[in-house]
Amino acid sequence: MAGRLKIDILTLFPEMFELFNLSIIGRAKKNGIIEINTHNIRDYTIDKHKKTDDYPYGGGAGMVMTPQPLVDSIRDIKKRNKGKVIFLGPRGKTFDQETAKELSTREEIIIVCGHYEGIDERVYKYIDEEYSLGDFVLTGGEMACIPMVDSICRMIPGVLSKSESYEEESFYSGLLEYPQYTRPEEFENEKVPEVLLSGHHENIRKWRRKQALKITKVRRKDLFDKLTMTKEDKKLLKDDQL
């Protein structure tokens, strides 16, 4: 059965993605909700030593991925996947929850994992979109690809058991998540807030919303400042009863 989303990943280290056969994503693959395929870029090189990198023209530290195996691998996968080609690199737009939502609505995606000091500039004309996880350096595109694919897949209906599993999580609504508690009711002299034990669903909803607002304001002011506050939000922040 074909998945609702097909992802083809071009990488030098396909074994790194075996973790997608486990847990929630693995179950979704077995159920035919998503399809994740990995392809070794090294299989496409015409170099007799299977090299996929070389020294940069003009000098400098490190190695650069050569264009031939990258371009040939993209061309080959495009025969079976008509989705946009996504490259994970430092020039890209910062990947966030909104991006994950949008990508999860597509039918097909091709992801190219870079390595070494980057890719030959002539490969970029085969790239449709580029994303970065942030302003820090990783050892390879695989390290960025894994959390990106996970965040995309979990947004697809049927991957998680209930829609609430992601709709109330941090970042989904633009806020950090409210505090969570479970048994025991009291631990090291600290009790679960009474409102969560009340069974009053509306009061619980308001309490959770207020806590999410407060936590986001303190810990992620950048997110809070982007939030469009409702009348209820403003009232909740002023209400000392919750």
Q: Binding residue per annotation — 95? A: no
Contact 154, 166 (CB under 8 A): yes
Name residue 37's beta-bridge partners: 8
Cα distance between residue 80 and residue 61, in whole Å: 37
The tokens describing 43, both together, are 């299989």
Q: Binding residue per annotation — 103? A: no
The tokens describing 215, both together, are 């936590």
CA distances (Å), 109 to each of 40, 77, 86, 210, 220, in order?
16, 10, 7, 38, 31
What amino acid occupies position 91? Answer: R
Q: Binding residue per annotation — 218? A: no
DSSP-based three-state secondary structure for 165? helix
Q: Binding residue per annotation — 135? A: yes
Q: Binding residue per annotation — 138? A: yes
Q: Binding residue per annotation — 137? A: yes
Handedness of CA 81, 149, 115, 17 (dihedral sign): negative
Q: Binding residue per annotation — 133? A: yes
| Count of beta carbons in the 10 Å neighbourhood of residue 87 | 26
Please state the residue numbers annotated as binding site: 114, 133-138
Return binding residues for S-adenosyl-L-methionine: 114, 133-138
